[in-house]
Structure 1
């Protein structure tokens, strides 16, 4: 199977929203009147971002999900994406489920595949996604203010726990492992929540590299600090209490990454609007702390006592 037959068989679809799609040298993206274009790009590399044994259908899903999560964090409506794919070989048994998982999630969010590139090489998946947002309504990392509440959607730490099970550092029952593995391999981008938080949240980011480190990006950009209450963190719901040591639970929740939940801030007066946004997004949100004027992140327990920590975001080159 040649390169162009591969594209035609697995990725070429009739253009729906845009005049030019897969098969032309460029795609033309039509924005609604007065909208701004938002762009995000993510790369997934075998051995770094995913295991060689992962189900190709789930990998297709995740390849787009991590990009849609970036749009969600900015309150952006998805429009289209391009796919750059390096493959060791053109394997029907891999390409068919991969494209099926990728395009099923794309259809779910009305996000059209409009181009890309394929080449032979070590397995590498790069997606660039495009969306639209009204001017001035994008959620940014720089808007948090003293007194704002800090919220997170869903639960945290399950994806990291699955990774630790793969590494053999923890032992999980079959049911718990299946639940955590699903969080690692098929994350849910919180697009509907992100859209509902426009005009409500003061700052936002998606939790991709770990809660503590990703919150640190908001604090740096907003030039504020924060107090985080560990007893409020909605983490490791798939693992029964006692099944994972306390320190390991904290590490998974605060520094695990791969959660792709939304972390955001909002003024206390917006609590009702936050609850309405959560209902519109179909996901629970939890208040986990408060923004403070003093720089830095302070993590405390239920009694207000400091929790010693050195939790940070994942860094590929650290």
Structure 2
């Protein structure tokens, strides 16, 4: 595809008929108008080669993940996806890579009714930046600041498998082939819990998506809400999708589940009286939900094992600049 210019690239791989936006990909701006009584929810995430993904990742899976991590932020807010923009830096025009990437991107976008309405392309190191727009009824958004002492702490889905896959890629861990493929799928194609987030509006008191590890991301809720929590570390460790058949020791399982990152599940809080409603929200959205702790008035996060004894193992959230 030598000679393919920026606008040819956009037209070939990223231009589709506009549905919601009266201005599509080819204009200088997209115009979005929230419906009456709705607020726009906006989030931006960047994926950098070597930092967020490996150079060997299948481009279709990368297209999926690039949008999934943004949809996960909307899920944590209880918002419905509307549209997104894509800023894409490419070292060169690679037709096979672009076809796979755009296919994975649009498959997930179509599944959530989320329209590409603009962006930018340039030559440079491989870098993907998506800004996503959603809508949520005014005053109904899930925030990090609503947790109260006595609330339950819940998580969706599975935890820790992306970290297991990363350790296999690093050469520090070996897994059976089927377990590795399952973990790798969780790392490269996370499932944004959009339906669950919307179902939790009016039920959950606070929510956050788990991108940097459960301990660190739950810490955002604790700080914003001015509370602490007691968490069952072993209940979290049981949420690895790879299961017990891998023979992983408990310290590694705890590390992956509590500080692994890249899970893109939801951590949220809700009053004990809402347990049936939370479980119904999980069923309605076809998403497993597990209660793993409780919010307490005393600041700080206290980890205990299955017997209630304090866990002395220390866990740190992922930090790009640490």
Q: Same fold (TM over 0.5)?
A: yes
For 1:47 and 1:239, the matched residues in 2 are separated by 28
Is 1:220 aligned to residue 229 of structure 2? Answer: no
Is the partner of 1:102 in helix, strand or coil? Answer: helix
Is 1:95 aligned to residue 89 of structure 2? Answer: no
Find the partner of 2:313 among 295, 300, 309: 309
Task: Tell me how far 1:34 sits from its aligned partner.
Answer: 1.5
Task: Tell me how far 1:231 sits from its aligned partner.
Answer: 2.8
Is 1:158 aligned to residue 161 of structure 2? Answer: yes
Find the partner of 2:287 among 275, 283, 288: 283
Please list the CA deviations of residues 160-219 of structure 1 after superposition, one character each: whole Å capped at 9, or x if unmatched: 000000001110111000000000000000000000000000000001000111111110
For 1:240 and 1:89, the matched residues in 2 are separated by 44
Is the partner of 2:169 in helix, strand or coil? Answer: helix
Is the partner of 1:253 in helix, strand or coil? Answer: helix
Name the residue aligned to 1:169: 172
For 1:222 and 1:162, the matched residues in 2 are separated by 33
Find the partner of 1:261 among 262, 265, 282: 265
Name the residue aligned to 1:21: 24
- How large is the Cα RMSD of the aligned pairs? 0.9
For 1:240 and 1:171, the matched residues in 2 are separated by 14
Task: Tell me how far 1:242 sits from its aligned partner.
Answer: 5.4
Please list the CA deviations of residues 131-180 of structure 1 after superposition, one character each: whole Å capped at 9, or x if unmatched: 11111100000000000000000110000000000001110111000000
- Matched length: 318
Name the residue aligned to 1:149: 152
Task: Tell me how far 1:244 sits from its aligned partner.
Answer: 1.6
For 1:105 and 1:207, the matched residues in 2 are separated by 19
Please list the CA deviations of residues 203-262 of structure 1 after superposition, one character each: whole Å capped at 9, or x if unmatched: 000010001111111100000000001232242231434522221111101100000001
Is 1:58 aligned to residue 30 of structure 2? Answer: no
5+ residue gaps, structure 2, are: none
Task: Tell me how far 1:304 sits from its aligned partner.
Answer: 1.4
Name the residue aligned to 2:126: 123
5+ residue gaps, structure 1, are: none
Q: Segments of 4+ in structure 1 off by > 2 A? A: 239-243
CA contact (8 A) 2:179 2:246 kept: no
For 1:275 and 1:185, the matched residues in 2 are separated by 28
For 2:168 and 2:189, the matched residues in 1 are separated by 17
What TM-score, normalized to structure 2? 0.97
Name the residue aligned to 1:237: 241
For 2:276 and 2:26, the matched residues in 1 are separated by 47
Task: Tell me how far 1:18 sits from its aligned partner.
Answer: 1.4
What TM-score, normalized to structure 1? 0.99
Name the residue aligned to 2:70: 67
Is the partner of 1:192 in helix, strand or coil? Answer: helix
CA contact (8 A) 1:79 1:110 kept: yes
